[in-house]
Amino acid sequence: MTIQTIILAAGQGSRMRSALPKVLHKIADKPLLKHVYDTAISLPNNQITIVYGHGGEQVQQALSGITAIWVEQKQQLGTGHAVQQTVEYIADDSKVLILYGDVPLIAAQTITHLLDQVSVDSMALLTVTLADPTGYGRIVRDHDNQVTRIVEHKDASKEELSITECNTGILACQGSKLKAWLSRLTNNNVQNEFYLTDIIQMAVNDGYKVVTATVTDENEVLGVNTRKQLAHLERVYQYQQADALMLHGVTLLDPARVDVRGSFTAIGQDIEVDVNVQFIGNNRIGSNVKIGANCIIKNADIADNVEILPFSLIEDASIGQNSRIGPFARLRPETELADNVHIGNFVEIKKSTIATGSKVNHLSYIGDSEVGSHVNIGAGTITCNYDGANKFKTIIGDGAFIGSDSQLVAPVTIGKNATIGAGSTITKDTPDNQLTLSRVKQVSVENWQRPVKKG
């Protein structure tokens, strides 16, 4: 049976105190709504409809790459009213699932279990038991423990307020039944809103059984209404990611101080990660990799036996086996390092390839370059690749030795096994196997007096 998921994402989120629509606030650098969408789209044969309202154009633009039907709720008149806007898209023979764009941590396994409870004579409701149910709709049951209705907190009697089993708002039922019940909704309540929860009592009155599934971790169904709740769920999500990494065999020296803001295409064995490391985007990490404290790893491809020392930034770059990076190194986009490469402290590499066994160990900038194998680049060396308008390439042959404090003014080629004397400014191609240097004559001034402070 086809699944049709309706994600309600029209709320303004006034308690966030933000110009940004609530569902676009982020957990792990991904909008809340995208978290929900990604979970829903993982289900097979699932057609997704998103109900938008406040900041609708901004919401659609932020999620422009997804496949979904977008439906506008022009007036926010309650959850029931929001679902009513989607009626023309609901197929009679589908299983309809209701999710919320501000409930980001709902798990696919929970949804699948809920959908399994839907049949021709039953609908399914997800509930949670809370120590403090303030603000939540309560699940009212009869003497046979069957669900009879849901009462909203503001409409509940004193006795009903003592109930701790709460409605999460997440439910599933057959499309034909949902459409029939939606057509009968009224707004005769304190809020003058059309409550989706009213369909529960309608279902019972029509002879349909309401089957419940209960989540054991309340964080899975917590919504975001304030910055504090957003921060709480960020930490919950990061603990989940840390647990997943450790199950893959990654050693985290402090699981509370590692952030994952993306995914991994592959994770090897015996990886060690120190504190305050951020993984952003899509990363591939080989085996026996050691990552020091305070590193940022973004869209990186890191081979086996690599050591990344503290305070290094790796972005859209690949690192070959047995290489050593940092500390305080920066690998910028389109950097490709072969095996056994050393990139040292305060070195920046940009859009360059560095072949096997080469070293750039201190205080250097290498940009738009092809560096051969077994090259040694001395401290303070820079490739002058930009003339203020255009970028130019530097080519350094195998076995070259670049002396400290050299400037290689591109476009320029350094020959194989060439040596560049320290302090040189190289503006022309240099031959293989020769020493090239450019220095002004050194002079010493006799009888020179060092300046002294006046009076």
- pLDDT single digits (tens) 284-335: 999 999 999 999 999 999 999 999 999 999 999 999 999 999 999 999 999 9
Say whether pLDDT at 354 is over 80.
yes
For residue 49, give the 3-state DSSP assignment. strand
Mean pLDDT throughout 346-359?
98
Average pLDDT estimate for 95-116: 97
377, 407 Cβ separation under 8 angstroms: no
Confidence of residue 192 (pLDDT cuts 50, 70, 90): confident
Per-residue pLDDT band at 189 (split at 50, 70, 90)? confident
The CA–CA distances, whole Å, from 442 to 86, 161, 389, 435, 445 equal 83, 90, 35, 19, 10
Which of the residues are catalytic? 362
pLDDT score, position 287? 98
d(CA 175, CA 93): 6
Is residue 229 left, alpha or beta, with left meaning phi > 0 and alpha meaning psi from -120 to 50? alpha
Cα–Cα distance measured from residue 353 to residue 370, given in angstroms and rounded to the nearest whole number: 5
pLDDT at 55: 87
Dihedral of the CA atoms 113, 119, 122, 128 (nearest 10)? 10
> Which amino acid, one-letter code, is at 277?
V
Helix ranges, 52-124 (H):
56-62, 79-84, 108-116
Neighbours of 358 (CB within 10 A): 26
- What's the pLDDT at 197? 87
Domains parsed from the chain with CATH numbers:
3-221 (3.90.550.10), 227-436 (2.160.10.10)
Q: Which residues pair with residue 47 across a beta bridge?
A: 4
Mean pLDDT of the chain: 95
Give the residue carrying structure tokens 């203020």.
Answer: 388
Instruction: Tell if the pTM clears 0.85, that is, is over it.
Output: yes
Distance CA 384, CA 398 (A): 20
Residue 335 is encoded by which pair of tokens?
A: 């950097």
Query: What percent of the chain is predicted at pLDDT more than 90?
Result: 90
Instruction: Check pLDDT > 80 for residue 126.
Output: yes
Give me the torsion for CA of 20, 23, 25, 29, rounded to 10°. Answer: -140
Report CA Rg, the chain. Answer: 31
- Residue 228's pLDDT is 97
**Mean pLDDT throughout 55-62?**
92
Over residues 4-36, the pLDDT tens digits come to 999 999 988 889 999 999 999 999 999 999 999
Q: What's the whole-number mean pLDDT along residues 67-91?
A: 94
Q: Decide if 274 contacts 310 (C-beta within 8 A).
A: yes
